[in-house]
Chain A
């Protein structure tokens, strides 16, 4: 069993839709990271959280430590949100990150 599971693997949405990407993990963690990777591009950190909820613009990340689950929400989605969203948890040896396989989001105009 993978230590970090993301769902869905692929997601297609229409512009303006509310989007949810889920991340479940099976290990004890110190923090959870949400990352964004545009096609052919680098990886950018969106959020790092260890409890509760964080909001940045149209993006909201939540985490439930007891249930070992996090969600990334995108409100009023836009084609420029099209990217791969990666969940990673910190807590491995030396605080190394363990990554999910990513969720590929495509937002159609």
Chain B
């Protein structure tokens, strides 16, 4: 049972480059989300999706795009990387509803130079 699979684990980008962080889950979870983790701060929500074809912005959406064409996949796109996007990114999924356990990917450490 793979759970939440996130790739790549590490990435270095130059300012202005674009890239896609991949996230896939095999638990048929309706809800998927992307967070960034920065030193001294709690995880902050970037974008989330409550089901295929539905996405919405979180707390810090600027500079990021998402799509949810299938239940399993929820990629995060950086359109034009900036040094301020240097962070650790986590994808998470859970069943719909409020009182459900969250499952996290292993994280992507992104450095923008």
Count of A residues near B, CB < 8 Å?
26
A21 within 8 A of B: no
Contact check, A96 vs B33: say whether CB atoms are below 8 A apart.
yes
Closest to A87 in B: B42
Interface bracket on B: 20 to 34
Which of B's residues lie within 8 Å of A, judged by CB?
Answer: 31, 33, 35, 40-45, 48, 50, 56, 58, 90, 92, 97-107
The interface residues of chain B lying within 8 Å CB-to-CB of A94 are: 31, 48, 50, 56
A65 within 8 A of B: no
Known A30-B99, A42-B105; contact A102-B42, beta-carbon cutoff 8 A: yes
Q: Which of A50, A86, A99, A100 contacts B99 (CB 8 A)?
A: A50
Contact check, B98 vs A42: say whether CB atoms are below 8 A apart.
no
